Amino acid sequence: MTVEEAGRKGGEATSRNHDRDFYEEIGRKGGEATSKNHGQEFYQEIGRKGGEATAENHGEEFYEEIGRKGGEATSKNHDDDFYEEIGRKGGEARSKQRSDNSNGNRRNNDNN
């Protein structure tokens, strides 16, 4: 028996002997241990790598589809007040960004 076959058989036996709660618990414990051992940079790096791998494996249609599904799910769970609030916050953030850029350009020009 190969190592691969033994691993598969062991995994199958484990799945027969344990329920969903077991896997949720070991997943939670693993996540907690990982967060204690790694900082923000670790999560940024694995996020970047995951994003790159996803982009390499999926085309534009994939992103259109997940965007559409996400939009549909969001619209089912939120009312008009939610959209008004996120629109207001987005507008404020964009206005601040423009203001910061404008002030930065003035400061740079003052130094010349």
| Position 36 in a domain | no
Domain residues for the domain of 91 are 61-112
User: In angstroms, rounded to a whole number, what is the distance separating the alpha carbons of residues 13 and 17?
Assistant: 6
The count of structural domains within the chain is: 1
| Position 3 in a domain | no
* Residue-level pLDDT at 84: 95
| Position 46 in a domain | no
Of 16, 19, 18, 46, nearest in space to 31 by CA = 46
Q: What is the pLDDT of residues 5-55, one digit of tens each?
A: 999 999 999 999 999 999 999 999 999 999 999 999 999 999 999 999 999
Q: What is the pLDDT of residues 45-94, one digit of tens each?
A: 999 999 999 999 999 999 999 999 999 999 999 999 999 999 999 999 99
Look at residue 105 and tell me whether its pLDDT is greater than 70: no
| Position 16 in a domain | no
Those residues whose C-beta lies under 8 Å from the C-beta of residue 55, and which sit 6 or more positions away, are none
